[in-house]
Amino acid sequence: MHRDEIAPIAAKLSIALPDNLGDVIYSFRYRTPLPAKIRQTAGADEAWLIRPAGKSRYRFVLVRRASLAPNPALAKTKVPDDGIRIRHERHCQLVPPGELTDEELRSYRLPSGT
């Protein structure tokens, strides 16, 4: 479908639209579930997505639902009883080179491994 098709169809159905028609597509892609009448046409393990299909063009695509269950084969990260804490904290300030002494410049060291 093309974005220009949205307004005439919405007018026939007496649906009020926002000024930004792109937001209609964006909302159904990321924020709002598609209407139940559309969702019901998908199988139990399928879902409808709206995908881009060119400039101002979109298409409905039926895809398999992805499983978002944790993988039991992966290791768990244990947090110590005393919680998470900062081990080392540094504060840096940018200083123009002309304001540093030769000794300060000599004492500057790059982090190990660089």
* Residue 114 pLDDT > 50: no
Report the pLDDT value the prediction gives residue 43, as an integer from 0 to 100: 93
Tokens of 40: 């019901």
Q: Helical H runs in the chain? A: 6-12, 21-26, 36-39, 102-107
Contacts of residue 40, defined as CB under 8 A and 6 or more positions apart, other chains included, come to none
The predicted model scores a pTM of 0.55
Tokens of 100: 């540093």
Average pLDDT over residues 43-68: 92
**pLDDT (tens digit, 9 = 90+) per residue, 66-83?**
878 888 888 777 777 777
Q: Which of 36, 20, 72, 29 is nearest to 53 (CA)?
A: 29
**What mean pLDDT value characterizes the chain?**
85
Report the pLDDT value the prediction gives residue 98, as an integer from 0 to 100: 80
